[in-house]
Amino acid sequence: MSGSSEKTIRIGGASAFWGDSMVAAPQLLMQGEVDYLIFDYLAEITMSIMARMRAKDPAQGYATDFVAVTMKRLLPELARRKVKVVANAGGVNPAACAAAIRALIAEAGLSLKVGVVLGDDLLPKIDALKPKLEPMQHGATVPERFMSANAYLGAVPIAAALKAGADIVVTGRCVDSALCLGPLLHEFGWDLRDFDRLAAGSLAGHIIECGAQASGGLFTDWRDVPDWDNIGYPIAEVSADGSFVVTKPKATGGLVSTGTVSEQLVYEIGDPASYHLPDVTCDFTAVKIVQVGENRVRVSGAKGRPPTDRYKVSATYLDGFRAVAHLTIGGIEAREKAERTAEAILRRTRRLFAMLNLGDYRATSVEVLGTEAMYGPHAQPGALASREVVLKLSVSHAEKTALDIFAREIAPAGTSFSPGTTGFFGGRPTPQPVVKLFSCFIAKAALPIALDMAGMAEPFDLPLISGDTAGEPAGQPDLRPLDDSPRRAVPLMRLAWARSGDKGDDSNIGIIARRPEYLPAIRAALTEEAVQRYFSHLVEGPVERFEWPGIHGLNFLLRHALGGGGIASLRNDPQGKAYAQMLLDYPVPVPVAWGLTDSQ
């Protein structure tokens, strides 16, 4: 479809998560001239939700709207345009997802073929596999009972399903980038030991897997991004050497620039020199991102090494209950009134718990939204004096009975405590199970993979390629040192773009200098110790800094930064989405001669 004599495969990123916009897939299909659509539905939170669905109904546990909305609407056009689909919409029940799609295909009188990748789900044989699980965190213990347990599979089975004639490939848990690498392995026939190309194809997947995040969504310079309502979803035009151009459909909003693509590159990355995937260990430190046209950015320079002989496993288990209450408080000293209201509710309910021998809360979280609560000591005085706030009171307990009492004691605040109390969001809070994440490894050889091409699973002989994954950490970039001229402090926002993401209870913040000459000042100010101090009210573990010379950047990994992360966290920002924005306020001393001011 590229129109070029050199083969180019165009892959559109049609979904970033379960719940992404229903405009994405039709836009890419009708306007994007793509060869493939990939749909990423799975996050750690999503897997826990799907596990709860399957626990209630064995026929559930997949992204139902992928079938009932997207596929039902697009199947005829997919067949007409010969566009193939790869989706991890199968969640914890890919076979049921595929069966539902096959039923739609038959109903529409089409002849599309559905392939299913099976084998990521450890739950059916978890008791036998428990001794083979290696916890990722030192000292962690394997839970007694699991709600879900899924290995992150790679791209090779996806490529095999496409080679066997699949028009639609459904998977359970796989690494997000495999949805893109699978088609590239199939189309270009890359050798599974050509690790540089595997790293490049994985990078293409990493860039487009989060949908509009690569084409203007969440961009630091958000005012520069036009037409949010019609934002274009990303397309990777991949060449046989692994280099690719990121673009979007014509006549759509959004923005594809070095800034937007660089921000997506750093999203949810730990050490950029050693990014482990099932098919390859990637080194992204020398990646180059260059604007080559309007809304066209070329990406190249990914390097690869052998993968490990293990899969990462994301497992979930039930661990008590949680409840969250919201109420609005207005007027003079609104923050103080909200804080006292929370204190009164917690003291009252604790007294009731003691009377009933229920034990104390496991954890509580009081956040007064509208006062820059997440900023902690960095909140501005004006925010602290807000006259309209929302009290968010979150609690967890071992027993649901205790949280039923908590839920009943929220409404009395409307007549018992602070003047100006109103706006009980959603009425009485409903206690919900706490689903916690347990991350571990399992040997690839212990997990058989299967392909289902016609309603019956057949074993798939996966090549077990592994080797020495060690590489050299990125050295300090060759930068001209700052002179001794007079300095003034400016917000980091004037010097850099930034984006943050989450991995379990850890968060990362990627920083990209707007101009290479800004990086020495950024490096000098943003030490590991400085970032640790800045986030000390939120981060319980250490902070690591990694060099990223290819994009004139830095990456920070904040350990134990999210209050447990995901659905287990009681915080308003359980995924660190605002952390980069918070750090962009950090004052960085720069030479006065640069002529920078506090504002853009």
Banded pLDDT at 567 (limits 50, 70, 90): confident
Report how far residue 204's alpha carbon sits from residue 238's, in angstroms, rounded to the nearest whole number. Answer: 8
Is 334 in contact with 387 (CB distance < 8 Å)?
Answer: yes
User: Are 378 and 301 members of one domain?
Assistant: no
Residue 463 has pLDDT above 70, yes or no: yes
* 135: in domain: yes
The whole-number pLDDT of residue 600 equals 56
User: Are 335 and 279 members of one domain?
Assistant: no
pLDDT in tens, 505-552: 999 999 999 999 999 999 999 999 999 999 999 999 999 999 999 999
User: Are 235 and 336 members of one domain?
Assistant: no
* 140: in domain: yes
The whole-number pLDDT of residue 476 equals 66
**Two structure tokens written together for 207:** 């860039």
In order of 352, 375, 399, 421, 571, the CA distances from 404 in angstroms are 12, 31, 9, 22, 20
Q: Which residue has the tokens 């592994």?
A: 466
Provide the mean pLDDT of the chain: 95
**Two structure tokens written together for 539:** 């981060």
The reported pTM is 0.95
Q: How many domains does the chain have?
A: 3
- CB atoms under 10 Å from CB of 386, counted, come to 18
The whole-number pLDDT of residue 285 equals 97
The whole-number pLDDT of residue 182 equals 98
3-class DSSP string for 230-286? HECCCEEEEECCCCEEEECCCCCECCCCHHHHHHHHHCCCCCCCCEECCCCEEECCC
Is 15 in contact with 7 (CB distance < 8 Å)?
Answer: no
Banded pLDDT at 3 (limits 50, 70, 90): very low
The whole-number pLDDT of residue 82 equals 98
Residue 451 has pLDDT above 60, yes or no: yes
User: Are 375 and 284 members of one domain?
Assistant: no
pLDDT in tens, 228-273: 999 999 999 999 999 999 999 999 999 999 999 999 999 999 999 9
Kindly report the backbone phi and psi dihedral angles of residue 420, in degrees, each rounded to the nearest multiple of 5, phi listed first: 85, 10
The whole-number pLDDT of residue 70 equals 97
* 447: in domain: no
User: Are 227 and 325 members of one domain?
Assistant: no
* 464: in domain: no
Banded pLDDT at 581 (limits 50, 70, 90): very high
User: Are 365 and 495 members of one domain?
Assistant: no
- Lateral strand order in the sheet of 114-118: 288-293, 296-300, 244-247, 235-239, 8-15, 36-39, 84-87, 168-171, 114-118, 449-452, 457-460
User: Are 260 and 165 members of one domain?
Assistant: yes
Share of the chain above pLDDT 90, in %: 88
The whole-number pLDDT of residue 475 equals 67
pLDDT in tens, 466-502: 998 887 777 666 677 788 899 999 999 999 999 999 9
**Two structure tokens written together for 519:** 């990086």
* 538: in domain: yes
Identify which has the larger pLDDT, 4 or 107.
107
Tell me how far apart the terminal alpha carbons of the chain are, to the nearest angstrom: 42
Whichever domain contains 355, its CATH number is: 3.30.70
The whole-number pLDDT of residue 4 equals 42
Banded pLDDT at 2 (limits 50, 70, 90): very low
Share of the chain above pLDDT 70, in %: 98
Kindly report the backbone phi and psi dihedral angles of residue 117, in degrees, each rounded to the nearest multiple of 5, phi listed first: -95, 125
User: Are 286 and 378 members of one domain?
Assistant: no
Q: By residue range, what is the domain housing residue 500?
A: 487-594
The whole-number pLDDT of residue 49 equals 84
Note the Cα 417 to chain centre separation in Å.
Answer: 40
User: Are 397 and 511 members of one domain?
Assistant: no
Say which amino acid occupies 327.
L
pLDDT in tens, 133-175: 999 988 889 999 998 899 999 999 999 999 999 999 999 999 9
* 451: in domain: no
User: Are 357 and 491 members of one domain?
Assistant: no
User: Are 35 and 177 members of one domain?
Assistant: yes
* 297: in domain: yes
Report how far residue 59's alpha carbon sits from residue 56's, in angstroms, rounded to the nearest whole number. Answer: 9
pLDDT in tens, 47-96: 878 888 988 899 999 999 999 999 999 999 999 999 999 999 999 999 99
Is 496 in contact with 511 (CB distance < 8 Å)?
Answer: yes
What is the β-pairing status of strands 275-276 and 281-283? antiparallel
* 280: in domain: yes
User: Are 77 and 123 members of one domain?
Assistant: yes
Say which amino acid occupies 255.
L
Residue 423 has pLDDT above 60, yes or no: yes
